[in-house]
Amino acid sequence: MPSGSPAIRTVAAIAVVTAAGALLLKAFAGVDLAAAWRAATGAGRWAPIILAPFALAMTLDAAGIGVLLRALGRRASLARLVAIRIATEALHLTAPAGFLVADSATAALLDTQCGVPVAEGAVIAIARKWLVTRSHAAYIVLGAFSGAAALGAVSLRPLGGHCLPWAVAASALAPLSISIALGAGFQGRPALLRLQGALGRLPWPAVRARAMRWRPGAVAVDGHLARIGAARAATRLATLIYFGSWLLEALETALILRLVGGPLDLGIAMAAEVGVSLVRSIGNVAPAGLGVQDAGYAVLFEALGVPAPTTAAFVLLKRGKELVWIAGGYALLAALRRRVPDESVRVARGVAGSAPMRAIFGETGGAAPSHPAV
């Protein structure tokens, strides 16, 4: 990698965060900060309750991972899987395009904490993404129709029509397309082996040699993918579990909005979440969708008649909740790293430095970092 790459990444990260901060300031310019603070602190002793939906969502998510692990003949305690999910979600929320970092860390932590080999952990991460995006598509459609009145009111003023509910429902095609693409790898067809064979027929000896070393790993991964794909009952159950996690996101929004003086309306909460998911996907490069997500809430809640100070208080509590869980996630990550046995580190490094990994990532790219890959 060129030596200038770290500097370029640093400049890009600074630019993204600066733009997100500017967007955040613009969204709440002119808001009565004193009124917003009063609304936020008005939750009083009930404020800690906003932490509960996230904890339940992570528990469901971990249960979904457990279902997928059992499809591969592996078992892990729910408590340990919940700790891994909270730790990796902190990475997801804080790193630009954090889902890539989180998925890598999940595979590493499943290896060192639950005895799941890295290759199987990577397959679990892909399977989870397949089913999470499938359930997300269903959640978006449900939210668009259950919150159609609210979304229609939002689109009436700026767009002069009621097209927003349809646009939001249509946005479900994005996660659905990702799910279909990922799901193709679970149909029992040896996709990686075919890729390895194609690389083995190229006219370059170095590439053919790498492809041959990759063959055992390709066969193993194709087998893991096929086993999960064949476990139809397990994948259906995991999909329902992940759908429940999405519903808890809407419940959290409804709860926070009520605590700051807004209406207690699950339809409005679902409309807000699925509507914001459109702009959140655009701002995915910013940590936790900073700025973009907050501006989305500001626009949607204003159109729904929620006062600006109430919206600002909502964002304040929402971000405060995230900070609490991010801190908890990094604390768990540090604790998990301290509990890593030396033998697990040796095995993880051996797998990362194996021939299939070197074939995929190159001679130096497959070397394992100090555990885990975070």
For residue 31, pLDDT over 80 is answered with: no
Q: Which tops the pLDDT comparison, 79 or 161? A: 79
Instruction: Classify residue 291 as left (phi > 0), alpha (psi -120 to 50) or beta.
Output: left
pLDDT attached to residue 162: 67
Whole-number Å distance between alpha carbons of 287 and 9: 14
pLDDT tens for each residue of 221-252 = 777 888 898 899 999 999 999 999 999 999 99
Nearest-5° Cα angle at 98, 359 to 167: 115
Confidence of residue 54 (pLDDT cuts 50, 70, 90): very high
Whole-number Å distance between alpha carbons of 271 and 277: 10
Six token digits for residue 56: 């339940």
% of residues, the chain, pLDDT over 90: 30
Burial class (CB in 10 A: 0-12, 13-18, 19+), 17: middle
Give the best-scoring range by mean pLDDT among 75-89, 176-190, 326-340.
75-89
pLDDT tens for each residue of 272-328 = 888 777 666 555 555 555 666 777 787 778 777 788 888 888 988 998 999 999 999
pLDDT tens for each residue of 109-126 = 999 999 999 888 888 998
Whole-number Å distance between alpha carbons of 128 and 121: 10
For residue 207, pLDDT over 80 is answered with: no
| Domain range list for the chain | 48-136+152-244+322-361
pLDDT tens for each residue of 192-202 = 656 656 666 67
Mean pLDDT of the chain: 77
CA dihedral 143, 100, 20, 329 (to 10 degrees): 80
Whole-number Å distance between alpha carbons of 26 and 41: 23
Residue 211: partners with Cβ closer than 8 Å, 6 or more residues away:
196, 197, 199, 200, 202, 359
Six token digits for residue 266: 């699950």
Read off the pLDDT of each residue in 56-64 and give the average, rounded to a whole number.
Answer: 96
Q: DSSP letters along 262-322, please?
A: ----HHHHHHHHHHHHHHHHHTTTSGGGTTHHHHHHHHHHHHTT--HHHHHHHHHHHHHHH
Read off the pLDDT of each residue in 333-347 and give the average, rounded to a whole number.
Answer: 63
For residue 96, pLDDT over 80 is answered with: no
Contact 292, 278 (CB under 8 A): no
For residue 342, pLDDT over 90 is answered with: no
Whole-number Å distance between alpha carbons of 68 and 238: 7
Read off the pLDDT of each residue in 52-81 and give the average, rounded to a whole number.
Answer: 95
Q: Which of 9-18, 100-109, 344-353 shows the lowest mean pLDDT across its residues? A: 344-353
Residue 66: partners with Cβ closer than 8 Å, 6 or more residues away:
75, 76, 78, 81
For residue 164, pLDDT over 70 is answered with: yes
Residue 255: partners with Cβ closer than 8 Å, 6 or more residues away:
49, 50, 53
Q: Which tops the pLDDT comparison, 5 or 67? A: 67
